[in-house]
Amino acid sequence: MNQRVKRLREQMFQQDVSYLLITDPKNRFYLSGFTGSTGVLLIGLEECFFLTDFRYIEQVKEQCPGYKLIKVEQQSLFASLTQVLKGSKGDTLSFEENHLTVKEYLELKDMLPGVALQPGSGLVEDLRMIKDSAEIPIIRQAMTIGDKAFQHILGFIKTGISEKELALELEFFMRKQGASGIAFDTIMASGPRSALPHGVASERKLQRGDFLTMDFGAIYQGYHSDMTRTVVLGESTNKQDEIYKIVLEAQLAGLAAVKAGVPAREVDETSRWVITERGYGEYFGHGTGHGVGLAIHERPRVNTKDDTILQPGMVITIEPGIYLPDWGGVRIEDSVLVTEQGCEILTSSPKLELLKL
């Protein structure tokens, strides 16, 4: 944790930020290790403060060494900041504008008239893009849980079972494997519903000949996994084989394009080109991937607009798809760790052939 705060302070110093107020729970966990639900961090260039109420005092003492604890009494959480910043006239306080209400901002402004307030979202998120040696093993385990869950659910896929039943079985299994929860509402889309990129599980019962697209993940020690596989019930049609092969080719091309030094948008362009050349470009309407970590979607974004240069330690997804309305769709997704020479694929479930169940 100390190294993370040290790197953050370097960024703060370069941007002339005296203090950074952390209200995003994921950033709070990243910088302090605190797993409770209430509290804010105040990161200064020399000292760090943790503000919380009576319920979490002992937890902060145990989980957050190096932070000066400020107990919030009956007044608001932000009113307690005056204990720290009352002599800070002329200093700059950055705040996370995506995790601060207008009411809270006005309260801060009123209480700290001598402090310059400025938006500071992105400072911690930039650091989070590159996973450190403590994070990568946890992420690997989260991905392993996802792989085991895929192998497990194959034994339950049959005609007559509902998408919701499969999604519940997936969640139950992942929790038994150590997951604290699911990374997002499980996408379990069968038949024509597989044309919905985010078709969360419904009451629809599987039928012979259906495509079934499963996009799911586990949360393990705060970190997310993400993987998508598409299978077919029974024998596939020629068109199903065609669409699957195109998406697989696009996904493999995207994976081959991943390496340190490459802009994220180039990975998207490489994968997208395959689908566009086959005449299905208009049916691939989302980005090729995204960062994964404490959030299921975080920087970098692997899309046509993100010029972020990939660096070793980044964890991203590669997930092209084709979605044909009233017919169905295919998506294939893996999570990968960026390396100097390419990438390490963290999800290992079979995909090179369309699974026929």
Q: Which residues pair with 315 in a beta bridge?
A: 337
* pLDDT value at residue 107: 86
pLDDT at 160 over 90: yes
* CA distance linking residue 191 with residue 344, whole number of Å: 32
Task: Return all residues near 145 (Cβ < 8 A) that are at least 6 apart.
Answer: 174, 177, 178, 179, 218, 220, 225
Q: Enter the pTM of the model.
A: 0.94
pLDDT at 351 over 90: yes
CA dihedral 266, 292, 148, 152 (to 10 degrees): -90
Side chain identity at residue 9, one-letter code:
R
What DSSP string runs through 318-347?
E--EEEETTTEEEE-BEEEEE-SSSEEE--
Q: What are phi and psi of 159, to 5 degrees?
A: -65, 140
Mean pLDDT of the chain: 95
* pLDDT value at residue 1: 59
Task: Return all residues near 182 (Cβ < 8 A) that are at least 6 apart.
Answer: 170, 171, 174, 216, 217, 218, 219
Neighbours of 181 (CB within 10 A): 13
Closest CA to 214 of 203, 200, 233: 200
How many degrees, rounded to 5, is the angle at CA 233 between CA 231 and CA 236?
80
For 353, which DSSP code? S
- Element (DSSP H or E) covering residue 305: none
The residue with greater pLDDT, 79 or 205, is 205
Chain region(s) in the chain for CATH 3.90.230.10: 130-345
For residues 308 and 263, is the Cβ–Cβ distance under 8 A? yes
Please provide the CATH number assigned to the domain covering 130-345. 3.90.230.10
Record the tokens describing residue 311, joined without a space. 């660096």
Poorest-pLDDT segment among 36-45, 62-71, 107-116:
107-116
Confidence of residue 90 (pLDDT cuts 50, 70, 90): confident
For residues 164 and 202, is the Cβ–Cβ distance under 8 A? yes
* CA distance linking residue 140 with residue 34, whole number of Å: 22
* pLDDT value at residue 348: 96
Tell me the H-state helices in 233-323. Answer: 238-257, 264-277
* CA distance linking residue 135 with residue 131, whole number of Å: 6
Poorest-pLDDT segment among 77-91, 244-258, 296-310, 319-333:
77-91
Cis peptide before 300 (omega within 30 of 0): yes
Give the tens place of pLDDT for each residue, 162-182.
999 999 999 999 999 999 999
CATH assignment of 3-128, among 3.40.50.360, 3.40.350.10, 3.10.20.340, 1.10.287.610: 3.40.350.10
What sign has the CA pseudo-torsion 202, 187, 243, 278?
A: positive
Q: What are phi and psi of 264, to 5 degrees?
A: -55, -40
Chain region(s) in the chain for CATH 3.40.350.10: 3-128
